[in-house]
């Protein structure tokens, strides 16, 4: 039994829209809460004001592009809320990004999941080995990048 594409797309779009808007409002609420503390005074400094203006101007582009990344989406939507990006700028960006994300996951993401489930049904050991192989590749990439980064920083110190 397969989920119709339209239903999958609508469900994924709804899920991501709820998630990013909750994240936005958490950022907004945190800043409102901090406004009544000593930290709140730092939000009124010129640097913070310039950062807020910069994010309100370029933030919508960052919000849309964040949906094509892994790991930055939450941080950028939280920052949009914290920067008090106006809803008239945030919502169109969130809608466009959520639609891109839903399309990617409704096509490539669900197809990959379905393929993996078919492999798991045919050979649970093979599916397990595939997951282990993927984990090894990810760890290898992270280790190589850290070593290169450490080598670069050692070269710049010398």
* Residue 133 and residue 118 in one domain: no
Tokens of 5: 């594409």
Whether the pLDDT of residue 110 is over 80: the answer is: no
How far apart are alpha carbons 66 and 63 in whole angstroms? Answer: 5
* Total tally of structural domains belonging to the chain: 2
Kindly tell me if the per-residue pLDDT of 70 is higher than 70: yes
114 and 84 both lie in a single domain: yes
Apex 137 CA angle, 118 and 150, nearest 5? 160
* The pair of three-digit structure tokens given for residue 42, joined into one six-digit string: 């730092």
7, burial (CB in 10 Å: exposed 0-12, middle 13-18, buried 19+) = exposed
With cut-offs at 50, 70 and 90, classify the pLDDT of residue 23.
very high
Mean pLDDT for the chain overall: 84
Asked whether residue 103 falls in the same domain as residue 134, the answer is no
Q: Which of 20-29, 52-61, 65-74, 141-150 has the highest mean pLDDT?
A: 20-29
Confidence band of 157 (pLDDT split at 50, 70, 90): low
- Which one-letter DSSP state was computed for residue 37? S
Does 78 lie in the same domain as 151? Answer: no
**42, 10: one domain:** yes
Helix then strand count (H, E) for the chain reads 7, 0
8 A C-beta contact, residue 94 and residue 61: no
Residue 49 sits in which domain range? Answer: 5-122
């Amino acid at each position: 039994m397969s989920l119709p594409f339209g239903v999958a797309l609508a469900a994924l779009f709804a899920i991501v829209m709820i998630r990013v808007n909750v994240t936005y409002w958490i950022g907004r609420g945190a800043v409102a809460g901090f406004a009544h503390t000593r930290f709140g005074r730092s939000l009124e400094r010129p640097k913070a004001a310039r950062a807020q203006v910069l994010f309100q101007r370029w933030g919508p582009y960052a919000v849309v592009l964040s949906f094509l990344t892994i790991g930055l989406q939450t941080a950028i939507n939280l920052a949009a809320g914290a920067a008090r990006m106006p809803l008239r700028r945030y919502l169109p960006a969130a809608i466009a990004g959520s639609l891109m994300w839903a399309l990617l996951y409704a096509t490539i993401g669900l197809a990959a999941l379905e393929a993996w489930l078919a492999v798991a049904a045919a050979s649970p050991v093979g599916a397990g080995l595939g997951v282990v192989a993927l984990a090894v590749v990810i760890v290898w990439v992270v280790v190589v990048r850290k070593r290169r980064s450490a080598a670069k920083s050692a070269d710049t110190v010398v």
